[in-house]
Amino acid sequence: MGVPEKTTPLHNADAAEPAPPAYVQNQPLPNYLCSESKAAPQQQFSLQPQHLRFPSQFNVYTHFSTFTLGPHQDDKLFTVVQTGLRKPMALVQGDDKKAPPLSTLKMKGLGSTSVLTIFPHEGGEVFEPLEITIENHSSKHCFCIALPNKAPHYFEWRSSKSEEVQALGSYKRGWKLVWLRKDGGGEEIVAASALNNTMSMKKGLKFGFFNAGLDGTLGDTFHIAAVTTAMNDFEMFLSTKTAISGNAATAASVASVSAVTS
């Protein structure tokens, strides 16, 4: 009988946790970000059979390369499939991983930018695939949503311990999504995601909408963009944690061998 292949968990709960990147004072977003929002190349897709509706808050459950989103582990409203660095992360409605994606996100080049693509669906605001460029910095991730005949909206994900993060439960740190309003309204927190203190394999993150993100002001496209980019931030956090765990294990192994041979 063959030896079963050993699987590596997404992260090790006992390993040192990388902190989300430290916040750096906000810098104005360049206008060229919105010029990058454009129609993606045409491809075959199907409309979703029902109107898309995200809960105001939901949990994110992890299982190797898959995230499931919903109020409970058995109530899978959405699924995020991570297909690797060379292929995009995909968000689908329900638990069918092969369903037409609502959105995909893929890093470009060395990772300084990513491309978020939002696909048409019933009840949505886009009628052809829409590409949104995300600027990735060490302390923040910036993007702009520019829909036809509508004013562009600028957003930043920032590492945070804000009230919104803590309002999601017994969570102390995570990220907040800030709307950089150009109408004189200043900055407004419209979503947040919070890490589980125990980093449970079953429930690693909680997400919530706030303020204009909750009352529908920003629209359906914003909701999809917010959730997809939040899942990407969480995946990058877990990847960093896994890398740290691997480096620590390698260092321990080398030290053990050195001790034996010395």
Q: What is the mean pLDDT of residues 215-227?
A: 93
**214 inside domain:** yes
Greatest Cα-to-Cα distance within the chain, rounded to the nearest angstrom? 72
Q: Look up the pTM and report it.
A: 0.76
Total Cβ atoms within 10 A of residue 68: 22
Give the number of domains in the chain: 1
Dihedral of CA 44/49/51/53: which sign? negative
Q: Is there a domain that residue 69 lies in?
A: yes
Residue 257 maps to a domain: no
Q: Which domain holds residue 66?
A: 36-240
**Residues facing 119 on adjacent strands:** none
Higher pLDDT, 114 or 123: 114
Q: Which residues pair with 89 in a beta bridge?
A: 105
Domain contains 28: no
Q: Which two tokens stand for residue 6?
A: 């050993």
94 falls within a domain: yes
Flag whether 177 is in a domain: yes
Predicted local distance difference test score (pLDDT) of residue 238: 85
Q: What is the pLDDT of residue 178?
A: 97
By mean pLDDT, which of 31-40, 63-72, 86-95 is the weakest?
A: 31-40
182 within a domain of the structure (yes/no): yes
Per the listing, tokens 């109530």 go with: 75
- Model confidence pLDDT, tens digit, residues 140-172: 899 999 887 788 999 999 998 888 998 897 677
Q: Is residue 61 part of a domain?
A: yes
Average pLDDT over residues 161-189: 88
